[in-house]
Amino acid sequence: MDKILRIDMGAEGGPKATEEPLGDYAGMAGRALTSAIVSKEVDPLCHPLGAANKLALAPGLLSGTTAAMSGRLSVGCKSPLTGGIKEANSGGQPSQVLARLGYAAIVLEGKPKDDTLHKVFISKDGVKITPDNSLKMLGNYDLVDKIKGEYGDKIACISIGPAGEMKMSAASVACTDMELRPNRHAGRGGVGAVMGAKGVKVIVLDDTGMKMRRPKDPEKFREATKTWVEGLRKHQVTGEGLPAYGTNVLANVINEAGAYPTKNFMWGRFEGCSKISGETQAETETARGGVATHGCHRGCIIKCSGIFVDKDGHYVTKQVEYETVWAHGANCGIDDLDSIAMLDRLDDDYGLDTIEMGATIAVAMEAGLAKFGDAEAAINLLKEAGKGTPLGRILGNGAAVTGKVFGVERVPVVKGQALPAYDPRGIQGIGVTYATSPMGADHTAGYAVATNVLNVGGSLDPLKPEGQVELSRNLQIATAAVDSTGMCLFVAFAVLDQPETFQALIDMINAFYGLNLTADDVTELGKSILKNERDFNARAGFTAEHDRLPEFFKKEPLPSHNLTFQVKDEDLDTLFNW
């Protein structure tokens, strides 16, 4: 993993691939690398869909190794949704395969002179870029089936659906899982639109003939990996809750906490929650012959995913994740798992972010385009986006655009990006993260829910403003570093609670690269990433005024607690004063 593959899609004579050493980017991977490339090489004032933007895709420091949970792929660019820097993250197989092929990053640059679509094939024998307009407007599922017919099934794919081709600001980048299903997505911020603007429909990766990456000190690496796996397996979240019920195990928990956003963030509890909870979902999957415990990439031991099948036992989608169940479920007043699974399937096929689209449909419902709770209407609205009708193009550009077009005041976005599945009035710490993250509203940027509600990494009252800025700051720093390792963010539960598991992560990196990193070095890495991202946003025109929640969170009390968002603006402005 010692080189960068640059693909200039606007080169004279057609797209051109070149390899170069890491140079100034030596020692970086994952989010550290994608954010550094975007911050250093992209004009912050450029049009996100223009030739000057770049799309960087990077595996993590430990991707392609035997380290458990190391299969996350980082995707970075200037976001067409927020106008700022974006790092979106995906599971699936591509990160591991790309790392074994020896690439620290793929960077898509320039822009084709026409609307020709291309496929990129990368193997140990090199890179081949081929125009292929037969792929136009294919959904991700049909696309991957076609690619399998051409290249076989020993591959991994990174692709976009019709939404990416139409350059919708909610478009995602799809990654295939172990069964070659395009159901893992770098969803947030419109990264799929940037890939579409580059004229790339699919990147096909084939690591046949490539071996697992080898550590500098195999014995120490083996010992650290053993401690790492033991720590993940003995923690109640990573070893019990997530494998048994998936991420949607949180539905009942957050609903009980009174912070489960319902009907476009009107309420904090959903009366139909038990019908769409993780427990009900796992029970339904098992009863129908689906799978409740499944990994999205080789080397995953938490296995928080699954396989959702219909009443006749036919595959519909992966086990729908907590954020998606909430977005298309409670947030739209829908309590039917089959309808939510269909919405998830359509999002994945069209290549759309499930959080953004759930929030968008809820805003459309508030505008009167459909009634809350009408699942059929929600499916039809999503199909409009997939077809690219005038209405569909409005919806496919996200909640902020939809709210503007239809005159809705209560639009839950920060920096143009929709809020995920935790109401900041009921979990004040996550509200701080939503407001201040360089990425726009993003729960994964600093998951304060862990400490506010789950009592992981300590305990802090979710309803009081005291201590929330410091909590979010520490988590944002730690998360940026974890996003650079290639590790799934869910490892954070064990890392926060078990000092020996955190040390095992550092030991794995040290043994693999022959380094002597300390916990302080990890903190400095996280700070440096956030500094790069904040610097880009400042040059793009962002100010402290952009680090704010929508006004209604400060004015409308959340019924379950009769509380507004309490953290003061002047306190939010101190978050990056480290």
Residue 426 is predicted with a pLDDT of 98
- Apex CA 37: angle with CA 31 and CA 43, to 5°? 125
Render pLDDT for 176-201 as a digit per residue (tens, 0 to 9). Answer: 998 999 999 999 999 999 999 999 99
Tell me what percent of the residues of the chain surpass a pLDDT of 90: 90
List pLDDT tens digits, range 46-71: 999 999 999 999 999 999 999 988 99
Task: Assess contact for 559 and 267: CB atoms under 8 A.
Answer: yes
Query: pLDDT per residue over 472-510, tens digit each?
Result: 999 999 999 999 998 988 888 898 899 999 999 999 999
Sign of CA dihedral 220, 221, 226, 232: positive
DSSP tag of 213 = P
- pLDDT of 163: 98
Looking at 329-486, list the stretches that DSSP marks H as alpha helix, in order from N- to C-terminal side. 337-350, 354-366, 375-387, 390-395, 399-406, 428-436, 449-452, 468-485
Say what the alpha-carbon torsion angle 98, 99, 105, 109 is, to the nearest 10 degrees. Answer: -10
What does the block give as tokens for 409? 């005041």
**pTM given for the model:** 0.96
150 burial class (0-12, 13-18, 19+ CB within 10 angstroms)? exposed
> Is a pLDDT exceeding 80 seen at residue 297?
no
Say yes or no to pLDDT of 242 above 90.
no
Q: What percent of the chain has pLDDT over 70?
A: 100
Report the chain's mean pLDDT, rounded to a whole number. 95
The CA–CA distances, whole Å, from 402 to 59, 189, 407 equal 34, 15, 8
| 275: confidence class by pLDDT, cuts 50, 70, 90 | very high
Backbone angles phi, psi at 74, to 5 degrees: -100, 135
How many other C-beta atoms lie within 10 A of the C-beta of residue 134?
A: 10
352 - beta bridge partners? 171
Give the domains, in start order, of the chain with CATH numbers.
Answer: 3-205 (3.60.9.10), 216-245+424-578 (1.10.599.10), 247-422 (1.10.569.10)
Q: Position of tokens 């195990």?
A: 249
What is the predicted pLDDT for the residue at 236?
A: 87
Cα separation, 325 vs 306, whole angstroms: 14
Q: What is the pLDDT of residue 490?
A: 86
Structure tokens at 570: 């002047």
* pLDDT tens profile 369-425: 999 999 999 999 999 999 999 999 999 999 999 999 999 999 999 999 999 999 999
Pick from 230-234, 443-447, 486-490: least confident? 486-490
Q: Can you spell out the DSSP letters for 60-80?
A: -TTTTSS-TT---EEEEEE-T
The two three-digit tokens of residue 503, written as one number? 């040390």
How high is the pLDDT of residue 292?
A: 77
pLDDT at res. 34 = 98
* Cβ atoms of residues 457 and 451 within 8 Å: yes
SS3 123: strand
Per-residue pLDDT band at 111 (split at 50, 70, 90): very high
